[in-house]
Structure 1
Amino acid sequence: MAEKTDRSTLLRPPPPDPNKAPIENVLEVTELAVLGPNIFTNARKPWHPPGARGIYGGAVIAMCLAAAQRTVSDDFFVHSCHCYFLLAGSSEQPILFHVEQVRDGRSFATRTVQARQRGRCIFTTTISFVRDGSSGSPGTQVSHSSAMPADVVPPPDDYDAEPEMMRQGPFQGTKIEVVSPPAGTGAIGEKKTRQWVRARGKIAGGAAAHLEALAYVSDSYFIGTITRIHKLWRFPFAPEEYEGMAPDLKERVRTLHAWEGMGEDPRDMIGQPTIGMMVSLDHTIYFHEPKRVLADEWMLTEMESPWAGDGRAVVTQKIFAKDGTLLATCVQEGLVRLQQPKQEGAKESKL
């Protein structure tokens, strides 16, 4: 029997560079000049989260940004990125990133990037860059910024409290905290989730690599904020089944449930609605302080949802540096459908 060939990349994946942080190796893209100008591909197999419809969206966002940054000069920094998730990406197929140089001005440059698999566009983004210093000196500009919550403290540099099952990715983080509004108001739209995150290792690739890392982590737990503030069950089995599980599986479910800010006991979710489908539709990042992004140092993500309805929800996110600098603001809209009682003869719904 012939040995199965890995087709997740067009070229043989290079060995991980030990001089780079894990996230830099994950997001490496390779230019394919033989196919035409400004065409890139993933150097390594992209991650497919367990139970997800496709590959992790943050990786596609970040690799599109990596490709686009290769087409602008070093004195241009990304300030906005507007993305649409069109089709679920496969981790078994290579991705081609087609960069179009839409405009190159004295102060701003614009790029569109299409991520394509099997000739179909799975993701598209428009990215705008601004030339460093083109807006004048700081004292001559309008300036303000949201403040980081006063009651938060970053973890110590030697933080090592992650459960073993959460230590696999290129980012590490703390347990998600759900902050509720004052007692008695009951306003779901006022709830917030908070988590500290940072890239593992030390990023060696300069400002561009730090910005790509921030783009990657900006999609982590994003639309899932809805499950936390609405207390929605998300596992592929009923909470009533938890008690009868094997001890090791039971502990894994309990650990993940608590880590994601859902509470310490999954049995408390009995009677709560269950998520039937949750898919990101679009994603926007505004990079406020691109030169101050240090993704291998602790950053605070704070998320909340101003609206949900008609099968969709919007979540906003602020990302702060540990010194309180507001680094980025992100917005995501996603499809959110609750599990409906099955009717005999009904067909499975499709997007």
Structure 2
Amino acid sequence: MQNCIKGSRFVHNLNKNLVFRVLAVENLKKRSDLRLSMDCERIDREAVIEFLGEVSLLQRLPSSSLKKIADFVQVRYFDSGQHVVHKGEKGEGLYLIWDGKACSSGSPEVLVGNHSDIQLKQYDYFGYCTTGSDYEVNVIALSKLICLVLRHENSHLLHPKSIWNADEMHEGIALVQHILSLEPQEVDIFHGHTLPEAPSFGHVFGGQLIGQALAAATKTVSYLKPVHSFHSYFLVAGETNAPIIYEVYRANDGQNFATRQVAAKQHGKIIFILVASFQKDEAGFEHQDLMPHVDAPETFKSIEELSESHESGPLPVFYGNAFSEKISGIWPIDIRLCEPSNPEERYKPSLKYWLKVRGELSDEQALHRCALTFASDFFFGSISLKPHLRKEMKILALSLDHSIWFHRPVKADDWLLFVIEAPSSCGGRGLSTGRMFNQKGELVMSITQEALLREVKPTNRAPRAKM
């Protein structure tokens, strides 16, 4: 009897311990759920936007799209060993790994995220290629896993009309923005085109190549890291009637800096290369050159007005006429050449002019920097020709390279003063350096370019007989 009592007490104590353990597990789960809830609260919108900017798939989107996506993503938590999605299921949508690791198993031909291996980590994604269709792989959490999910019904946010603006394009958008718009083909690959109304000189305008290549590089970096400098080289003249493929190589991604290399190709051949560096905004020491005093931009004639009236403005008449012959219609950039105080300065290797983009630009700092990159190549490389030009002289002028340093945020649709000097011409090359100031007198950009400069001499060959 006593043994039975002891046995029943043992069972009672055992059941009691089990109840306590179950309660402990439930309490632990409640505390875990509470911690996860607190974690969710700590993931504020700004942190989500910054995170989205580091996901390679989303970097080609305009910043306005990232802000919209941040309002729609939902947080999902998974324990180690838990299935995130099962093979044969549709899943919830696009999964972005916020924290933790996962692996995929199934068909090796399926691309998961931006890696060909099966292990996924922070900033990787899956579900993009299978939106609306069944998964061909299992995705399993390898650790505590937190994902942000953009559901299928919001997948249209991944396909904006433009790489610069998430909203509809309208008639008032600047021509430069259309010129700098690219078609994303894959992650890090973009297609560019030469529009019929874009400036050209028998080949792709150099400013277009630089601007589009910089745009391609920019669309592979978080918008919180604007470009601060780039160096580029022109290799072969581009054809205006053929698309240009821009391939971006991610050379480096650091906490504060990122580096990109871009190759522009036509017919499988590299025609232009660019290396750009990007940096998160940072406070530091400041000083700058003073802006020279010039009259307001409205007091000078535009290059179209000079062309129509056959005036050369501050340029030697034969130099100005050479450019007037190439100007037709309305240029995407409004340029106002500043008259020199002394007529003899027309022959000095220097030039000052006001410029701004015509039309409306979307509110994206990267676009403004690309637009000014496009605009900086117009007169720039040939300024070193001014002391050497004579009437009836024919000149071959080709840009060899182009570099820019961005010192401060810029606004391309406001007037900027471009101050150019050409300190050297030698060996068939001319070097030009430039500084760009806003109307507050702030130095916003420094530019250099070397150009190939050759006099085209007439041939003395006797004409051939026609018979």
Give TM-score, length-normalised by structure 2: 0.54
Report Cα offsets for 1:277-299 as digits up to 9, x if no partner.
1111111111111x2x1100101
Contact 1:179 1:193 in 2 (8 A): no
* 2:185 is equivalent to residue 32 of structure 1: yes
Is the 1:223–1:334 contact (alpha carbons within 8 Å) kept by the matching residues of 2?
yes
**2:406 aligned partner, one-letter code:** F
Query: Is residue 215 of structure 1 aligned with residue 373 of structure 2?
Result: yes
User: Is 2:330 the partner of 1:168?
Assistant: yes
In structure 2, the partner of 1:227 is 385
Query: In structure 2, what is the Cα distance between the partners aligned to 1:100 and 1:59?
Result: 20
Q: Write the distance in 1 (CA, Å) between the matches of 2:448 and 2:458.
A: 31
> Distance between the aligned counterparts of 1:107 and 1:66, measured in 2?
20
Amino acid in structure 1 at the alignment position of 2:175 = P
Identity %: 32
Q: Does 1:18 align with 2:167?
A: no
Matches within 5 A, 1:44-59: 45=195, 49=199, 52-59=201-208
CA distance 1:43–1:276, change in 2 (3 Å)? closer
Structure 1's 191 and 162: CA in aligned 2 closer, same or farther, altered over 3 A? same
Is 2:297 the partner of 1:154?
Answer: yes
**For each residue in 1:97-140, what CA deviation from the matched residue of structure 2 results, as whole angstroms up to 9, or x when unmatched?**
0010000011210000011000000100000001112xxx34xx
Q: Is the 8 A contact 2:303 2:337 kept in 1?
A: no
Classify the secondary structure of the residue corresponding to 2:384. helix
Offset at residue 229 of structure 1 (A): 3.9
1:178 and 1:83, CA in 2 relative to 1: closer, same or farther beyond 3 A? farther
Q: Contact conserved, 1:179 with 1:192, CA < 8 A, in 2?
A: no
Map residues 174-193 of structure 1 onto 2, 5 A cutoff.
174-175=336-337, 177=339, 191-193=349-351
Say if 2:217 and 2:248, in contact at 8 Å, map to a contact too: yes
Paired residue type of 1:175: L
Give the alignment of 1:232-251 within 5 angstroms. 232-233=390-391, 238=392
Relative contact order (alpha carbons < 8 A, sep ≥ 6): 1 or 2 greater? 1
| Contact kept in structure 1, 2:294 and 2:338, CA below 8 Å | no
Query: In the alignment, is the contact (CA less than 8 A) between 1:275 and 1:336 conserved in 2?
Result: no
Q: Distance in 2 between matches of 1:279 and 1:151?
A: 30
Distance in structure 2 (CA, Å) of the matches to 1:167 and 1:340: 31
Native 8 Å contact 1:23 1:199 kept in 2? yes
Which amino acid is the alignment partner of residue 297 of structure 1? Answer: D
Per the alignment, in what secondary structure is the counterpart of residue 413 of structure 2?
coil
Tell me, yes or no, if the aligned pair for 1:311 and 1:336 is still in contact at 8 Å.
yes
Larger radius of gyration: 2
Cα distance change on mapping 1:110 and 1:57 into 2, 3 Å: same
Per the TM alignment, residue 310 of structure 1 is displaced from its structure 2 partner at its CA by 1.1
Question: CA, structure 1 residues 191+308, in 2 after alignment: closer, same or farther (shift >3 Å)?
Answer: closer
Distance 2:268 2:228 in 1: 29
Q: Which residue of 1 aligns with 2:272?
A: 123
1:267-316 deviations in Å (ceiling 9; x for gaps)? xxxxxxx2331111111111111x2x110010111111111011111011
Contact 1:300 1:319 in 2 (8 A): yes
Checking the alignment, whether the CA contact within 8 Å between 1:288 and 1:328 is kept in structure 2 is yes
Task: Give unmatched runs, 5+ long, in structure 2.
Answer: 1-160, 163-167, 309-326, 463-467
> Displaced runs of 4+ in structure 1, greater than 6 A?
13-16, 158-161
Aligned to 1:276: 395
Distance (whole Å) between structure 1 residues aligned to residue 301 and residue 193 of structure 2? 31
Report the residue type matching 1:321 in the other structure.
N
1:226 CA displacement? 2.5
Q: 1:179 to 1:47 in 2, by over 3 A?
A: farther
Aligned mates of 1:30, 1:331 — CA distance in 2: 29
Partners of 2:254 and 2:265 in 1: CA distance: 27
SS at match of 1:32: strand
Given the alignment of the two structures, is residue 110 of structure 1 paired with residue 247 of structure 2, yes or no?
Answer: no
Give the corresponding residue for 1:70: 219
- In the other structure, the counterpart of 2:355 is 197
Cα distance change on mapping 1:196 and 1:232 into 2, 3 Å: farther
Unaligned runs of 5+ in 1: 1-12, 239-273, 346-351
Offset of residue 28 of structure 1: 0.4
Conservation of the 8 A alpha-carbon contact between 1:83 and 1:123: yes
Deviations 1:223-251 (A, max 9, x none): 12123343345xxxx4xxxxxxxxxxxxx
Match of 1:294 in 2: 411
Structure 2 counterpart SS, 1:68: helix
CA 1:284–1:96: 2 relative to 1, 3 Å: same
Give me the TM-score of the superposition, normalised by structure 1: 0.71
- Structure richer in helix, relative to its length: 2
Count matched residues.
278
SS in 1 for 2:289: coil
* CA contact 1:58–1:216 (8 Å) conserved in 2: yes
Question: What's the counterpart of residue 235 of structure 2?
Answer: 86
Counterpart of 2:244 in structure 1 is 95
Question: 1:32 is aligned with what amino acid?
Answer: Q
- Counterpart-to-counterpart distance in 2, 1:154 and 1:276: 30
